[in-house]
Amino acid sequence: MAIAKAERLMNLALCLLGTRRPLSKRELRESIEAYLEAGSDDSFNRMFERDKDDLRELGLVIETVENLDGEVGYLARRDSNRLPPITLDAEEAAALGLAAKVWQQARLAGAASGALQKLRAAGLPEDVDPYEAHGALEPRIPVHEAAFEPLMLACRDRRPVVFDYRKATAARPEARHVEPWALECWRGHWYLAGWDRDRSAERVFRLSRITGKVRSRSGRFTAEVPDVVTVRETVASWAGETADRSALIRLRTDAGYPLRAKATSVRELGDGWDELEIPYGHGLDAWLVEFGPDVVVLEPAELRADVVDRLRAVAKG
């Protein structure tokens, strides 16, 4: 629905900007397909007035005048709606370029490509790579999950959603009713933060564990959206980033690269196994379960027990 409205507003704006004389409501209705499908005159009038107000809120100057036939007409003169020159320094242009490349694998990849061309004209040099300009940022931000786009729109429009979600310890997914707040990429994976209505608590969901379609729901949010949504901090805590202890694990050779990247020491054991010492904090057990038979926890004993319990829960499902 959000995409359909955006397309309708764009078509109306183009009609108003492209005319040399005021256009009546009747002429606009005949020119824009969405208005032809509006049904009754009352439905069209309400839709048109809302669209006109939305365009004005976005900054488009729309004039209301009478045409030669005595009808009320509308137009948006180009000289009244010309934007000032866009000037960007190298850091700003690189940041916008990087943001546009988020869409390299999403449905809006074509629009992102066009946006990048406009950024070049606005100050992003041809020889500046956004990734190099912001070396501290993640070099790739892939968008593989089908849930990304509907969740992005739901976050933007503040619309509740329902989706089936499979936890790391569960054999089957279960429905989650969520008020989505923000999406963020962390170490190659996308996460959604929001309010879980069934649990009456803030939750973070990994998009790769969402199965099936994301369904929108009507109604407003029931929980207040925080000013700052700490997606990465929450996920980092789950992954043991805030660890204050160490765990000793066995890991198959050439497996578990993310674990190897975190290891403070690695020792070859032979027979296709290595011994790693890694930081140990809240949520490490859930992360280790994802590596299945490639990981064996040696110590501490409580971590080993937690991992075994999680694996048994999956096996029973």
DSSP string, 144-198: --TTHHHHHHHHHHT--EEEEE--TT-SS-EEEEEEEEEEEEETTEEEEEEEETT
Residue 217 has a CB neighbour count (10 Å cut-off) of 13
Q: What is the pTM of this model?
A: 0.45
Q: Phi, psi (5° rounding) for residue 168? A: -60, -30
Per-residue pLDDT at 213: 93
The pLDDT value recorded for residue 309 is 82
Q: Do residues 71 and 24 lie in contact, with contact meaning Cβ atoms separated by under 8 Å? A: yes
In CATH, what number does 2-80 get?
1.10.10.10
Do residues 238 and 252 lie in contact, with contact meaning Cβ atoms separated by under 8 Å?
Answer: no
Which two structure tokens, joined as six digits, stand for 247? Answer: 């765990």
What pLDDT sits at residue 284?
A: 76
CATH fold of the domain at 245-316: Alpha-Beta Plaits (3.30.70)
pLDDT means per 10 residues in the chain (317 residues)? 72 85 87 83 89 86 78 84 65 61 53 55 50 44 74 90 84 90 78 92 88 91 84 64 79 87 89 90 75 90 86 70
Convert 234-265 to b/e letters by CB count within 10 Å (16 or more is b).
Answer: bbbbbbbbebeeebbbebeeebbeebeebbee
Domain ranges for the chain:
2-80, 90-133, 148-233, 245-316
Amino acid, single-letter form, for residue 56 = R
Using alpha carbons only, give the angle 307, 138, 206 rounded to the nearest 5 degrees.
40
Tokens 């995409």 locate to 3
Sheet arrangement for strand 23-24? 23-24, 72-75, 63-66
What residues have CB less than 8 Å from 190, skipping those under 6 apart?
143, 145, 148, 183, 184, 206, 207, 208
Residue 68: its pLDDT value, please?
57
CATH number of 148-233: 2.30.30
pLDDT on residue 277: 94
- What is the gyration radius of the CA atoms in the chain, in angstroms? 26
Q: How many CB atoms lie within 10 A of CB 154?
A: 26
